[in-house]
Amino acid sequence: MKAPIVRFYPLLLLSSVIIPAGALAQAPAGPPAPPTSPHNSQEEIVVTAPYLRELDILAGKSVLAGEDLQRNVRVQIGDSLTSIPGVSATSFTPGASRPVLRGFQGERVRVLTDGIGSIDVSNTSADHAVTIDPLTAERIEVLRGPAVLLFGSQAAGGVVNVIDHRIPRELPEKGYHVDLIGGLGSAANERSIGGAVDFRLGSNIVVHADGSFRKTGDLRTGGHVLSNNLRAEQFEIAAEEAEEGHFEEAEEALALANRKGKIPNSAIEQKSGGVGIAYVGDKLTVGVSYGRFESDYGVPSRPGAGHHEGEEEEGEEGEEEGHGEVPVTIGLKQDRYDLRAEYRFDTGFLDKARLRIGAANYEHTEFEGDEVGTLFKSDGLEGRLELGQRARGGWGGTSGIQYFERDLDVIGAEAFVPPSRSEQFGIFTVQEVDFGKFGVEGGARFERTEQRDQLNDIDRDFDTFSVAAGAYYEPQPRMKLGANLSRTGRAPSAEELFSNGPHIATQSFEIGDPDLKVEKSTGAEAYFRVEKARWSFSATAFATWFDDFIYQDETGEEQDELPVFQYFQRDATFYGFELEASAKLFEARGFAFVADGVADYVRASLKNGGPVPRIPPLRLLGGIEAQSDKLDGRLEVEWIDRQGRIADFETKTDGFTLVNASLAWRPWGKQRETTILLSANNIFDVEARRHASFTKDFVPLGGRDIRVGARFSF
């Protein structure tokens, strides 16, 4: 068996496991590894926990790196990951999009940077951007399955971890290392550039600096901007206005219904930068960093859902002028400070100790035209200490503590969340026993969460306990069967508890429930993976049964002339599957021709209440790729089914098919990371909408997009 490539990342994510001594040693020779799929790294083991050999308890794992990351990278992390099995995106606007994992989003998906939360307010509302720039990421890891709950109760749906080099982990071999990346995209007139440099000072000190800049115009879409439902509304408005003799208003409604091309108010300007320094020694590694992230982006408006503030002063004339719609934009900035340290013991029960701390000052302003609407301020801190046991006799593990705090202040007439403070303390342990072909793993986590509404003097305290266990059997090399079980609890967030007010950016009136209980769930998962010399296959089936599932849904009512979205609790069931396959078809003229495919599906229902809102439909993706040392060519087709299984007040989403192609040239071969990439996405310029998006009916995906990118590394 060919030895797997194993990469170690200190203190990544919120859990680590120690494997038996020697488990990472060179394995006996065997058949070559199967061809690499762009959607899952078969040859490279995803090691987000420093000692775990294969993250068996995490049956769902994917990594996006190198050429695949360069081809798929977009402004926001959510839209960068949609080629991965089980992943969709909120796609609220091109400037704000979080990942959707197995139908879960918001408070059930943790987005991390180098193992610590993004410490922003992107989980507060779908219109808020994630303060991580994928442009300068080295790799992005996606983890799904029961054991991700060990990363914290907010990881019930999965974890996305973005790895960068802002705190250096190693000494550059040549004394320095430089990465440069840039690109152009036609659909939004996108221009982007980024770079990072590491250089060595003395024998053990490494200094790092990075920066990026991206700017786009309004996104051009394929087909109509409005969905068929909204177009029908505008045609009806046009008919009514014409009947009343308001011909100018009728023409405006018709023009809106027939609008094609660019999505108004969808442009973005985003920039980031940071510096770091680290001491890298034989036993001790310690480093610190500072980063700055800024983004200015538009939030497209739903027709007829404009803001009415100030219309009372205009009198009847103002009322006759229409909906009083003004463009909403968001200006965001974050200052972030990080520390990472690791110490390796020579002898004794402990093998390593790791400390990871991140703190951030976050602020964003929601502008209504030129006027300041709502101001969000958040100060957050997250820290984690891990103590890893020295592996002995096939048994090993790690234990640790985690602390998180956040002060959130929302200021303005539309402050839909009162000033609040959140605190969370967790203690956990993860253990593994390896019996050769058979292995078992288990973990437990206790969390104490405190949520305080500082305006109304409301305190809610929650104690939650989560456990997970898994077992696997390896009947032959590169073949594995496994099963996982979990029982978890998640405390409601401050937004779910205390929201009560208009939120102009989402064009809704949001109402929480201060009496929400702990959300409990039981999860089960079974998987099968096999890798042969010329092909590989992976299948995962999963199910989660929720007690008191917390969800936000439209009520059909209006308040302040905005639709009311309220948080509810009800039992729910999620189940689905993920399939992935790759096969080397043949070789000719120095090229290996590889076919790959992905399929995923999730179905979610509320007890006695119909479907859970915004669940992605069935998706199939297949591609064929010609691979060589210097040149790769890829053609892929992605088919997404229509979603007609909808909640009350939700609209159906038509299916669509996207055809994409790319050509990658590596002038110095695969041994060097330099790549020049040409790609064409949505070649046939079709109209496409993600069902998981709140704004799908008036913010479709981009149309035909020709992209040119280059990455230089030396």
Contacts of 589 (CB under 8 A, 6+ apart): none
Size of the chain, expressed as the number of residues it contains: 714
Rounded mean pLDDT of 96-106?
93
Asked if residue 9 lies in contact with residue 388, where contact means CB atoms within 8 angstroms, the answer is: no
How far apart CA 329 and CA 346 sit, in angstroms, is 55
Rounded (5°) CA angle 312-315-320 = 105
Q: Identify the CATH class of 5-225+263-713.
A: mainly beta
How much of the chain, in percent, has pLDDT values that exceed 90?
69
Band (46; pLDDT cuts 50, 70, 90): very low
- Per-residue pLDDT tens digits for 276-304: 999 999 999 999 999 999 999 999 998 86
pLDDT at residue 60 in the model:
64
Q: Is the pLDDT of residue 359 over 60?
A: yes
- Per-residue pLDDT tens digits for 12-25: 222 332 222 233 23
Rounded mean pLDDT of 171-181?
93
Band (409; pLDDT cuts 50, 70, 90): very high
Q: What is the distance in angstroms between the CA of the first residue and the CA of the last residue of the chain? A: 32
pLDDT at residue 61 in the model:
79
SS3 628: coil
pLDDT at residue 443 in the model:
86
Maximum Cα–Cα distance for the chain, whole Å?
Answer: 88
pLDDT at residue 56 in the model:
46
Band (305; pLDDT cuts 50, 70, 90): low
Q: Is the pLDDT of residue 316 over 90?
A: no
pLDDT at residue 325 in the model:
67
Tokens of 382: 């997250």
Asked if residue 26 lies in contact with residue 2, where contact means CB atoms within 8 angstroms, the answer is: no
* Residue with token string 């509304």: 233
8-state DSSP, 236: H
Rounded mean pLDDT of 587-613?
95
Report the predicted TM-score, pTM, of the whole model to 2 decimal places. Answer: 0.88
Asked if residue 486 lies in contact with residue 149, where contact means CB atoms within 8 angstroms, the answer is: yes
**Burial environment of residue 208 by CB neighbours within 10 A (0 to 12, 13 to 18, 19 or more):** buried
How far apart CA 52 and CA 470 sit, in angstroms, is 14
How far apart CA 173 and CA 161 sit, in angstroms, is 26
**Burial environment of residue 377 by CB neighbours within 10 A (0 to 12, 13 to 18, 19 or more):** middle
Q: Is the pLDDT of residue 415 over 90?
A: no
32-36, 189-193, 310-314, 625-629: range with lowest mean pLDDT: 310-314
Contacts of 301 (CB under 8 A, 6+ apart): 264, 265, 325, 327, 328, 507, 698
Band (315; pLDDT cuts 50, 70, 90): very low
SS3 319: helix
**H-helix or E-strand spanning residue 484:** strand 479-490
Return the top range by mean pLDDT from 136-145, 301-310, 673-682.
673-682
8-state DSSP, 113: E
Residue of 207 and 136 predicted with greater confidence: 207
Output the 3-class SS for 160-215. Answer: EEEECCCCCCCCCCCCEEEEEEEEEECCCCEEEEEEEEEEEECCCEEEEEEEEEEE
Q: Are strands 109-113 and 158-163 parallel, antiparallel or unpaired?
A: parallel
**Annotated domain spans of the chain:** 5-225+263-713
SS3 314: helix
Residue of 48 and 101 predicted with greater confidence: 101
How far apart CA 201 and CA 209 sit, in angstroms, is 14
Contacts of 433 (CB under 8 A, 6+ apart): 394, 395, 439, 440, 441
**Distance from chain centroid for Cα 423:** 23
Asked if residue 265 lies in contact with residue 329, where contact means CB atoms within 8 angstroms, the answer is: yes
Contacts of 375 (CB under 8 A, 6+ apart): 363, 364, 365, 366, 410, 411, 412
* Average pLDDT of the residues of the chain: 87
pLDDT at residue 394 in the model:
82
**Burial environment of residue 324 by CB neighbours within 10 A (0 to 12, 13 to 18, 19 or more):** middle
Asked if residue 114 lies in contact with residue 12, where contact means CB atoms within 8 angstroms, the answer is: yes
- Per-residue pLDDT tens digits for 228-268: 999 999 999 999 999 999 999 999 999 999 999 999 999 99
Rounded mean pLDDT of 353-364?
96
Phi-psi label, residue 99: left if phi above 0, alpha if psi -120 to 50, beta otherwise: beta
59-68, 120-129, 144-153, 359-368: range with lowest mean pLDDT: 144-153
pLDDT at residue 134 in the model:
87
pLDDT at residue 96 in the model:
95
Band (542; pLDDT cuts 50, 70, 90): very high
Rounded mean pLDDT of 100-113?
92
221-225, 451-455, 467-471, 632-636: range with lowest mean pLDDT: 467-471
**Beta strands, E only, 312-394:** 328-344, 350-368, 371-389
Contacts of 246 (CB under 8 A, 6+ apart): none
Provide φ and ψ at 352, rounded to 5°.
-145, 150
The radius of gyration of the chain's CA atoms, rounded to the nearest angstrom, is 25
Q: Is the pLDDT of residue 633 over 90?
A: yes
pLDDT at residue 30 in the model:
39
Asked if residue 278 lies in contact with residue 286, where contact means CB atoms within 8 angstroms, the answer is: yes
8-state DSSP, 26: P
Residue of 134 and 451 predicted with greater confidence: 451
pLDDT at residue 598 in the model:
96
pLDDT at residue 37 in the model:
56
